[in-house]
Amino acid sequence: MTSILQRTLEIRTSGRGFTDITREVARVVAAAGVDVGLCALFLQHTSASLVIQENADPAVLRDLERWMARLAPEGHGYEHDDEGPDDMPGHLRSAVTRSSEVIPVSGGRLALGTWQAIYLWEHRSAPHLRRVVVTVTGATAGG
């Protein structure tokens, strides 16, 4: 039998940086009750991103943040600065990353690698409330 479940997660960030949302997404997958399928994630914002990255060494996330700061720095005379100097850099950072991810579901669980986690990457300086739509579709056990 095929099953589809969709939930919207509200994630409060603490400003620029990474928020691990793996557990929240895994709870939605568990609630869907699928044995094999797909978990699609979509972030409803244009100044944050979704990334799957290493969860073991925090230096990876720090290096990514420093690299991104060099790629899209604040204060470079952007035309779009309605919400402050981090506004347009947030959009640029989002443009070179992703607003969605698709992860296989296998054995009723996210088929992430041993060292992988799902992160919401906040590109703005201030804390924000972000929404991630999680859609799980697949076959239930015995179906």
Determine the topology of domain 2-140 in CATH: Jelly Rolls (2.60.120)
Domain ranges of the chain: 2-140
CA-atom Rg of the chain in angstroms:
17
Percent of the chain with pLDDT over 90: 89
Two tokens at 95?
A: 């443009």
Two tokens at 76?
A: 């470079």
- What pLDDT score does 143 carry? 58
Average pLDDT on 128-143 reads 91
Beta sheet of 129-140, edge-to-edge order: 2-12, 129-140, 34-43, 100-106, 109-110
